[in-house]
Amino acid sequence: MIWLTWRQLRGAATMTAALLVLLAAILLLTGSQLAADHASGVGSCVRGEDCELFYDRFFQDYEIPFLASTLVVLILPALVGLFWGAPLITRELEAGTYQLVWNQSITRTRWLAVKLGFTGLVAMAAAGVSGLAVTWWSGPLDQSAPEGFALMDPLVFSARGIAPLGYAAFAFALGVTVGMFVRRTLAAMALTLLVFATVQIAVPLLVRPYLIPPVTATFELGRQNVDGLNMGRDGSFSLAIESAIPGHTGSWTLSSDLVDPSGRVIAPSGEPAPIPVSTTSGPCSQSGAGPQGGEACMVEVNRLGYRQQATYQPLERFWPLQWIETGLYALLTLGLTGLSFWWVRRRLS
């Protein structure tokens, strides 16, 4: 059965292996230079502002390969479900070849176990190798990435570490299970893609934020979490905050709100909120414009009791969240596998 399964899989496996070898060669050849450029740049910048400029320039130089490698890891599990999982059993059901195997003293359970085990392990190995290779290569870029491309950002998180291994296992088992129910290859592929994409969107939005209870805290306002101070023509003063968490660079911000001295939320991140300070005299007056005046005005706003209230997942939870989410997908995979065995023994004929 293993030899037969390999003969059916060898075309797709050989093509996937060739692409992975090409990807690994590119990452290996460019990874050392990437790490050296990052270490050299970090070593040469002496002030905070200089380092920020270096990080911006460094990421821009490698932005396209960063996005391309991330995309490869993201779509690989979906391809595994589409082209390895969905046709695995459906193709045999459509051609009727499964009956020939079952008449050769091969039990249904053994037939399915070999197909699932052999092909599934190859698929998981491919996804795991690609995920870990890209994680190693993009390490310096993950440290320099701006907001939206940071390591804990939902899309980047899904393309790093061991999580792609869990996605591939789930996508493969999903494709096999759907194929056994639908019994039509094209329909099974379409349905597999739809369900897998739905799960991949739902987990970062609805599940991942709560795999570990998020941290909620308030922070003083400053340059890191304030988007801008605005003064209207009518003399009104307003302030908008960002989603950055002071002292917790790289965190995944779930919510960021501006609260008044009573703790009431008065504006979410990015939206200006009026602040009752004098704009005719004092640190927030029009005569106090400029960097020094802005700092003094910020001190005044903090003195009045305005704060940023944020809920977030710290960067230090990257690997715990990776393990938990991979375990969650492993449970889903086991459930689908059990359903497949039950279906092949009781319903498939």
Decide if pLDDT at 274 tops 50.
yes
Give per-residue pLDDT as tens, 157-180.
999 999 999 999 999 999 999 998
Decide if pLDDT at 320 tops 90.
yes
Phi/psi at 156 (nearest 5 deg)?
-70, -40
Confidence of residue 294 (pLDDT cuts 50, 70, 90): confident
Supply the pLDDT for residue 287. Answer: 65
Q: Of the spans 20-29, 162-171, 292-301, which averages the highest pLDDT? A: 162-171
Whole-number average pLDDT of the chain: 86
Supply the pLDDT for residue 291. Answer: 45
Decide if pLDDT at 312 tops 90.
yes
> Cα 224 from chain centroid?
24
53 C-beta neighbours (distance < 10 Å), count: 13
For 103, 110, 157, 317, 335, the CA distances from 174, given in Å and listed in that order, are 27, 19, 22, 28, 10
Q: How many residues does the chain have?
A: 349
Q: Tell me the mean pLDDT in the region 117-130.
A: 85
- Percent residues over pLDDT 70 in the chain: 93
Q: Tell me the β-bridge partners of 268.
A: 257
Decide if pLDDT at 20 tops 50.
yes
What is the three-state SS of the chain? CHHHHHHHHHHHHHHHHHHHHHHHHHHHHHHHHHHHHHHHHHHHCCCHHHHHHHHHHHHHHCHHHHHHHHHHHHHHHHHHHHHHHHHHHHHHHHHCHHHHHHCCCCCHHHHHHHHHHHHHHHHHHHHHHHHHHHHHHCHHHHHHCCCCCCCCCHHHHHCCCCHHHHHHHHHHHHHHHHHHHHCCHHHHHHHHHHHHHHHHHHHHHHHHHHCCCCEEEEECCCCCCEEEEEECCCCCEEEEECCCCCCCCCCEEEEEEEECCCCCEEEECCCCEECCCCCCCCCCCHHHCCHHHHHHHHHHHHHHCCEEEEEEECHHHHHHHHHHHHHHHHHHHHHHHHHHHHHHHHCCC
Decide if pLDDT at 218 tops 90.
yes
Based on the number of CB atoms within 10 Å of its own CB, is 208 exposed (0-12), middle (13-18) or buried (19 or more)?
buried
Spell out the long-range contacts of 97-101 with Cβ–Cβ below 8 A and sequence spacing 24 or more: 101/1, 101/4
Supply the pLDDT for residue 290. Answer: 47
17-21, 186-190, 231-235, 268-272, range with the lowest pLDDT = 231-235
Decide if pLDDT at 293 tops 60.
no
What is the spatial distance between Cα 251 and Cα 253, in angstroms, rounded to a whole number? 6
Give per-residue pLDDT as tens, 73-88.
999 999 988 888 888 8
Supply the pLDDT for residue 47. Answer: 65
Supply the pLDDT for residue 28. Answer: 87
Decide if pLDDT at 124 tops 90.
no
Q: Tell me the β-bridge partners of 267.
A: 258
Supply the pLDDT for residue 1. Answer: 64
Confidence of residue 292 (pLDDT cuts 50, 70, 90): very low
- Name the pTM for this structure: 0.85
